Structure 1
Amino acid sequence: MIGVLERLWRYPVKSMQGECVERLPIDGRGAVGDRLHAVRDEAGKFGSGKDTRRFRRIDGLFRFRARYEGEVPVVGFPDGRLVAGDDPRIHEALSRELGLPVTLAREEAVSHLDAGPLHLVTTSGLEALGLEGRDEQRFRPNLVVRSAGAGFVEEGWIGRRIRVGEEVVVEIAGRTERCVMVGFPQAELPAAPGLLRKLAAAREACFGVYARVVVPGVVRVGDRLRFAEAGDGGREAV
Structure 2
Amino acid sequence: MGNNTEFVGTIKDIRRFPVKSILGESLSSISIDKRGLIGDRLWAIKDMNGKFGSGKTTRRFQQMDGLFKYKARYEGTAPILTMPDGAEYWGDDVAVNETLTKLLGFPVTLTREESISHFDEGPISIITTSSLRILSQELGEPVDPRRLRANFLIDTELTGSLEKDWVDRLIKVGPNVILKVVAPLERCVMVNNSQEELNQDNRVLRNLVNNHDASFGVWAKVEVSGKVNDGDKVFLE
Q: Normalised by the shorter chain, which TM-score bucket?
A: over 0.9
3-state DSSP class of the match of 1:47? strand
1:202 partnered with 2:206:
no
1:190 matched to which residue of 2?
199
Say if 1:147 and 1:153, in contact at 8 Å, map to a contact too: no
Q: Work out which of the residue numbers 90, 93, 97 in structure 2 matches 1:91.
A: 97
Query: Separation in 1 of the partners of 2:127 and 2:89?
Result: 31
Unaligned regions of 5+ residues in structure 1, if any? 229-238
Q: Does 1:109 align with 2:115?
A: yes
**1:76 corresponds to which residue?**
82
1:132 matched residue in structure 2: 142
What secondary structure is seen at the aligned counterpart in 1 of 2:133? Answer: helix
Deviations 1:142-164 (A, max 9, x none): 00000231121111111111110
Q: Which amino acid aligns with 1:65?
A: K
Give the Cα separation in 1 of the matches to 2:8 and 2:157. Answer: 5
| 8 Å contact kept, 1:17–1:187 | no
Q: Is 1:29 matched with 2:19?
A: no
1:187-216 deviation line (CA, Å, top 9, x unaligned): 211001121111111111111001110000
Verify: 1:153 aligned to 2:162, yes or no: yes
1:217 counterpart (206, 220, 226): 226
Q: Which of residues 205, 216, 226 is equivalent to 2:235?
A: 226
What displacement does 1:185 show? 0.7
Q: Is 2:19 the partner of 1:13?
A: yes
Distance in structure 1 (CA, Å) of the matches to 2:107 and 2:202: 29
Alpha-carbon distance between aligned partners in 1 of 2:148 and 2:236, rounded to the nearest angstrom: 24
Map Cα deviations across residues 32-85 of structure 1 (whole Å, 9 max, x no partner).
100000000011100001000000001011100000001110000000101111
How big is each residue's C-alpha offset from its partner over 1:62-117, in whole Å with a ceiling of 9 and x where there is no partner? 10000000111000000010111122211001101111110000000000001111
One-letter code aligned to 1:115:
E
What CA distance in whole angstroms lies between the structure 2 residues aligned with 1:184 and 1:155?
Answer: 24
The two structures have a TM-score, normalised by structure 2, of 0.94
| Alignment partners' CA distance in 2, 1:18 and 1:108 | 20
Deviation at 1:227, TM superposition (A): 2.3
Aligned-partner Cα distance in 1 for 2:198–2:118: 25
Gaps of 5+ in 2: 1-6
Letter in 1 for 2:145: E
User: Structure 2: which amino acid aligns with 1:50?
Assistant: K
Residue in 2 that maps onto 1:41: 47
Identity of aligned residues (%): 44
Structure 1 length-normalised TM: 0.93
Amino acid across the alignment from 2:154: V
Confirm or deny: 8 A CA contact 1:167 1:217 kept in the other structure.
yes
Partner of 2:3: none
Number of residue pairs matched by the alignment = 227
Secondary structure of the corresponding residue to residue 129 of structure 1: helix
